[in-house]
């Protein structure tokens, strides 16, 4: 996968995380406490600065009280050239 394409998806994931957190009325600190994660870590995820493991995605979903697939509901057109 091309590096810039991966970065684009990480940014979209982060925006979706922030959107769900805001909809739930949670601050970064509150979500961090729910997930037993550091709020600076979640901030980096929301900004698309870091890649996270699947287990962390599950933790975030549990903290938000949503199914993990909700974190992947963002508009994105998968392009073949991204995988060349």
List the domains of the chain with CATH numbers. 1-72 (1.10.260.40)
Q: Determine the 3-state secondary structure of 66 from DSSP.
A: coil
Of the candidates 39, 36, 1, 3, the residue with the CA atom closest to the CA atom of residue 18: 39
pLDDT in tens, 18-68: 999 999 999 999 999 999 999 999 999 999 999 999 999 999 999 999 999
What pLDDT is stored for residue 66 in this prediction? 98
Tokens 């940014």 belong to: 11
Least confident span in 9-18, 27-36, 67-76: 67-76
What pLDDT is stored for residue 74 in this prediction? 86
What pLDDT is stored for residue 6 in this prediction? 84
Tokens 């739930």 belong to: 24
- Please give the average per-residue pLDDT across 68-74, as a whole number: 94
């Amino acid at each position: 996968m091309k590096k810039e394409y991966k970065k684009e998806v990480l940014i979209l994931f982060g925006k979706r995380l922030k959107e769900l957190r805001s909809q739930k009325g949670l601050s970064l600190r509150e979500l961090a406490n729910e997930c037993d994660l550091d709020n600076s870590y979640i901030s980096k995820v929301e900004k698309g600065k870091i890649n996270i493991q699947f287990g962390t995605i599950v933790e975030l979903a549990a903290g938000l009280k949503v199914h993990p697939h909700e974190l992947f509901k963002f508009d994105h057109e998968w392009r073949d050239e991204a995988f060349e």
